[in-house]
Amino acid sequence: MGLSDEILRRRTFAIISHPDAGKTTLTEKLLLFGGAIHVAGAVKSNKIKKTATSDWMEIEKQRGISVATSVMGFEYRDFKINILDTPGHQDFAEDTFRTLTAVDSVIIVIDAAKGVETQTRKLMQVCRMRKTPVMVFINKMDREGKDPFDLLDEVEQELQIGVRPLSWPINMGYSFKGVYNIYKEDLNLYTPNKQTVSETIAFKDLNSKELEDYIGAKDAAKLREDLDLVAGVYPDFDREEYLKGEMAPVFFGSALNTFGVKELLDCFVEIAPSPRPVQAQERLVDPQEEAFSGFVFKIHANMDPNHRSCIAFVKVCSGKFERNVNYKHVRQGKMMKFSAPTAFMAQKKETVDEAYAGDIVGLPDTGNFKIGDSLTAGEDIHFKGLPSFSPEMFKYIENADPMKQKQLQKGIDQLMDEGVAQLFVNQFNGRKIIGTVGQLQFEVIQYRLLHEYSAQCRWEPIRLYKACWVESDDPKELDNFKKRKYQYMARDKEGRDVFLADSAYVLQMAQEDFKAIRFHFSSEF
């Protein structure tokens, strides 16, 4: 198979949602269809003693949540599928935001009872910003939930995207009988089973009397009425609109009971984009180019506690990556070769000899990589688009053991490179401030500094509302602003100016008083 064919059969996507909507369960069932696993694990410990494949860290098993993005690859039909299961918990949103830069499309999971929740809205903003194609899976149809039409209205309003149902539920909760697959024109009858698949009946003519035999007269009448309404209210499915990120196909099902998942997967591999061109600072990089290029979107330390090893996750953007071939590390300007690149099934990894555009490769990292680094066959390309968002929580970090100053410094530098949180240095008093998106991150940093770097830190409170990056075309005005706000100015890790506003009012007044200053809430501008 040639380079072009290999690239065209790749499908790389992330699964995102609010915590507990069923994201990791859906990932497990997709792996089950791909034959990658033979028994689907459970997120919460129950009779199935196997935990979810993508939740492999100790803290994930204990808490029943995902705290780091897992990468899993498998073959399905003639396609090579790469799934990135992301953390839903808002404290780990930064990891999820960066993961979205490495995928070509997204599946959003929504809980039928709860509808669109906060975290889903935030993640959708990133997808909109990047025009990433989105599919929606409305989960937990075997439980009582909101009316399907209300759910579709909510998705349209809250996520600001057009929708088109490609399957339609027959009741929900106790009386849930299955879904009609509009895309394939067949009927999927529901039998709850966590490991096997329900029966599918080809059904082109909905007016035929046979429908009553399967689902009863009352439900048959309601299904016909609903589908007429769907055809009248929603535009026909248009793949071009979907690929532009303007229309989201919607599927209904129950991931826990393996229902509606195969229909989602079958449609997904047909309509989802193969690897797309990636914008670099210099030019647009096409996946079909012969020369290899890729960027680091995530660094994970200590995947194997026995060897304090870091792994840099590289998204291959163009061409073909090969083992033991020299590639250029653009930031450092030096050539490197990798004898043990890996492909993942969550924590299990195997050495790969080659990977194509769209694949995710793990490279052993001894401190050479930072998030956003580019690797190429020789050309100087800088990939952009790995934003840091404005943190929502801030604390001063202080050394609790004066003898371990070096260890603490090294630990902070490495953890910040990994993107666990953001470091700001106050220009007024030189103190270090750590900013995160959630309280849990402070615990993770303290724990890892102690266990991985033998450094002890303590936190001191600071009252801040937001950190925003500031810039202006008028150097005088910027200088004036920095003098006026001297106590609130800091620099980030890259040395850029950051304004630390201590209240929403202060920020609003600053924006009104200094019209020539641009305030950015993400570091990509």
Q: For 114-147, write each residue's pLDDT tens digit.
A: 988 877 887 888 788 888 999 999 999 888 999 9
pLDDT score recorded for residue 309: 65
Q: What are the structural domains of the chain?
A: 3-66+88-271 (3.40.50.300), 278-376 (3.40.50.300), 393-520 (3.30.70.3280)
Q: Check residue 64 and give its pLDDT.
A: 44
Structure tokens at 196: 């096997």
What contacts 230, CB < 8 A, 6 or more positions away? 165, 168, 182
DSSP secondary structure letters along 474-524: -HHHHHHHHHHTGGGEEE-TT--EEEEESSHHHHHHHHHH-TTEEEESBS-
Query: Residues 351-367: pLDDT tens digits?
Result: 888 889 888 888 888 77
Residue with the bigger pLDDT between 506 and 370: it is: 506
Q: How confident is the model at residue 59 (pLDDT cuts 50, 70, 90)?
A: very low
Please say whether the dihedral angle defined by the alpha carbons of residues 269, 270, 275 and 278, taken in this order, is positive or negative.
negative
- Compute the distance between CA of residue 287 and CA of residue 274 in angstroms, rounded to an integer: 9
Give the pLDDT confidence of 381-439 residue by residue, as tens digits: 888 766 667 788 899 999 999 899 999 998 888 788 777 788 999 998 899 999 987 78
pLDDT, tens only, 416-429: 877 778 899 999 88
- The pTM of this model reads 0.77
pLDDT tens figures, 323-351: 889 999 998 899 998 888 887 654 456 78
Residue 441: is its pLDDT beyond 90? no
Average pLDDT value over all residues in the chain: 82
- Confidence band, pLDDT 50/70/90 cuts, at residue 82: confident
Per-residue model confidence (pLDDT) at position 499: 94
What pLDDT, on the 0 to 100 scale, is given for residue 53? 47
Q: Are the C-beta atoms of 51 and 45 separated by less than 8 Å?
A: yes
Residue 157: per-residue pLDDT: 92
Euclidean distance between CA atoms 423 and 394, whole angstroms: 10
Is 160's pLDDT higher than 80? yes
- The pLDDT tens digits of the residues spanning 482-500 come to 999 999 999 998 889 999 9
How many C-alpha atoms does 95 have within 13 Å on its Cβ side?
25
**pLDDT value of residue 458:** 93
| Contact between 17 and 8 (Cβ < 8 Å) | no
Q: Given pLDDT bands bounded at 50, 70 and 90, which one contains residue 456?
A: very high
pLDDT for the residue numbered 69: 52
Please calculate the CA angle 497-499-503 and round it to the nearest 5 degrees.
170
CA distance 117 to 114: 7
- Does the pLDDT value for residue 70 go beyond 70? no
